Amino acid sequence: MKTQHIAAAILALAASAAQAAPFATTHQGTISIGVGPIPGLATGQPWSLTLVMDNGSTDADNGTWEPQHLTCAIWRMGNAPQIIVAHDMALAPADPNYSSGALETNGSGDMVAIFTAIVSGGIPAAAVRTRGLPPGEALGSWHAVTNQSPMLYTVPNNLRLRAPGGVQMNAADWSHLQPFTGNCLDAAGPASAGGNIAAVPTLGHAALALLGALVGGLGLCGQRRKQS
């Protein structure tokens, strides 16, 4: 293979990795049962909320994501989990009148701030896929606000997910940003089977610099061969 072909292949690999713009963070807690609980869930079982966002950036360093940058919300409830609710926020965004704050990272990609509140209601069926809810139940609304519980409601029977303290909107209570790819709704399964959005590896600054040096070295070798 010619030197320029090798260099082009390496650069293409680097570019494809650098294009993984969506990032996700997850908050976890334990369920408490109150009025109108979702059947199958019990006090003390785990729940989590994963938020996926995309502001067009190719890395998580020195970033800012506002509510309009949210592209997906995935609720997982119970052991296993038994219940998954995936909300495609690109199709049905958070309510701009009640959602506020921003997720921010420093130069190392560490989260230093997170949204104050995320609120979604009136969500169309096309923007939601669920697994494990009782027959006929669908996502009605949800919110992520500190000390506000229940956090999720279904329709038509107004079933509820509750947790002590609601969704804690403190940066320290959320996981480090990770690159994500895939279809949001597939988190609840590609139709009837379960499935999760898969994390994909990306190249860090050091790896990109190494690739740049390698490409430069290949170019130098090519020039020397032509001169000899």
DSSP helix/strand/coil, 87: strand
pLDDT (0 to 100) of residue 190: 77
> Which stretches of the chain score pLDDT less than 70?
1-20, 191-228
Q: What local confidence, expressed as pLDDT, does residue 35 receive?
A: 87
Longest distance between any two alpha carbons in the chain, whole Å: 82
Cα–Cα distance measured from residue 41 to residue 34, given in angstroms and rounded to the nearest whole number: 11
DSSP secondary structure letters along 3-39: HHHHHHHHHHHHHHHHT---EEEEEEEE----SSBPT
Q: What is the pLDDT of residues 52-86, one digit of tens each?
A: 999 999 999 999 999 999 999 999 999 999 999 99
The closest alpha carbon to 117, from 159, 46, 84, 166, belongs to 166
Structure confidence by residue, pLDDT tens digits, 23-33: 999 999 999 99
Angle between helices 205-227 and 3-18 (to 10 degrees): 170
pLDDT computed for residue 148 by the predictor:
97
pTM of the model: 0.77
pLDDT of residue 28: 98
Q: Give the pair of three-digit tokens for residue 67.
A: 């509510």
